[in-house]
Amino acid sequence: MDINEIARLAGVSRATVSRYLNDGYVSEEKRRLIKKVIDETGYVPSRQAQTLRTGKTKLVGVIIPKISSDSVSRMVAGMTGHFREKGYQIILANTDNDSKLEVEYLRLFTGRNKVDGIILIATVFTAAHIRALESASVPVVVLGQKIEGQSCVYQDDFHAIYQMTLSALENGSRPAYLGVREDDVSAGQERHAGFLAACKELDVEVPPEAVILGDFSIDSGYSCTEQLLDAYPEVDTIVCATDSIAFGAITCLREYGHAIPDDVQVTGLGDGTLSQVVSPALTTVHHFYRDSGLEAAKLLVDAMDSGGAIPRDIRMGYEIRRRRSTR
């Protein structure tokens, strides 16, 4: 079965079938005839032939930092439906938080194995990232970070932690912060800065030993809390940069005999599935990760279809979800 046979069965010209397959203008009557034949025969156009005709692969490269991340999985889930609806397929590249691999995939996707566009979910941006983005031959949308000169969809991390800290300190006065590496601007710098700004507004002192940076894992949350309890035992509120860190903090506090939230409050960020399962249920920030994935897909499809080169950025909203881990 080929395009000539589809044209014969539908009673239209080969050129009309070609326009239909490539989203060109076809009258509604002929469109219905062609669709009926394709549905009945199960015809699938040759992707290689379409690429030769249009110069487009109908493939999108999505570069992710960690395949097991709850937030990343929600972002990817948000974009897949829109890409499918628009006729694009995804090639997923997992880097395991290796920034050099991110740059390699950026170059790979715009090289011989060319895609029509790229979504980059990155954590740390280096000079090599910027060079790769500036030299990219296809549209790129950055998801999760704000990068000047690039189309971006990102979270309002500063204000999210700022509001969470203000809320928690309505019933606390000796806060601490457990964060992540600060070369990650959004999760590191912005969230830490939001915590400090809220404490400053309330005229609450934060001693140096009350700020501890680790990584995104539950284990890190546990070990940082151990360190915190040793250095700052009077702490009554722990603001965590992520839910995973908060889960580790809750486990450690319990094992050391601290009641939550009576002795120490704990807050997180992310509102993943486990935030309502852990005991006590975690007070956290809900980021609209699924919606951000959808918005990134829309930006990229618009850029791929129109050839637009004007960068656009979208800052997502957030919600504070108060549960039983705070007073």
Q: What is the pLDDT of residue 137?
A: 87
> How far is the CA of 138 from the CAs of 70, 173, 199, 300, in angstroms?
28, 51, 44, 10
Predicted confidence (pLDDT) at residue 52 exceeds the cutoff of 90: no
Instruction: Determine the average pLDDT of the residues in 282-305.
Output: 96
Pairing of strands 318-321, 284-287: antiparallel
Residue with the two structure tokens 């019933």 = 171
Model confidence at 110, pLDDT cuts 50, 70, 90, reads: confident
The burial class, CB within 10 Å (0-12 / 13-18 / 19+), for 313 is middle
Predicted confidence (pLDDT) at residue 42 exceeds the cutoff of 90: no
Cα–Cα dist 186/290, whole Å:
17
The two tokens of residue 274 are: 């486990």
pTM listed for this prediction: 0.81
Q: What number of residues does the chain have? A: 327
DSSP 189: I
Cα–Cα dist 112/231, whole Å:
54
List the domains of the chain with CATH numbers: 3-54 (1.10.260.40), 59-155+290-317 (3.40.50.2300), 157-287 (3.40.50.2300)
Which of 114, 143, 81 has the alpha carbon at shortest distance from 288?
143
Work out the number of other CB atoms within 10 angstroms of the CB of residue 211.
18
The two tokens of residue 50 are: 């379409």
The two tokens of residue 130 are: 């910027």
Contact 124, 101 (CB under 8 A): no
* Residue 214, amino acid: G
Contact 301, 82 (CB under 8 A): yes
Predicted confidence (pLDDT) at residue 44 exceeds the cutoff of 90: no
Q: pLDDT tens digits for 251-278?
A: 999 999 999 999 999 999 999 989 999 9
Predicted confidence (pLDDT) at residue 48 exceeds the cutoff of 60: no
User: Alpha helix locations (H) across 190-242?
Assistant: 191-201, 218-231
Model confidence at 234, pLDDT cuts 50, 70, 90, reads: very high
3-state secondary structure 38-58: HHHHCCCCCHHHHHHHHCCCC
Cα–Cα dist 314/256, whole Å:
43
Q: Nearest 5 degrees, angle CA 30-CA 31-CA 32? A: 90
Which of 123, 115, 111, 67 has the alpha carbon at shortest distance from 91?
115
User: Which of 308 and 139 is assigned the larger pLDDT?
Assistant: 139
Q: pLDDT tens digits for 61-102?
A: 999 999 888 999 999 999 999 999 998 999 999 999 898 999
The two tokens of residue 47 are: 């992707």
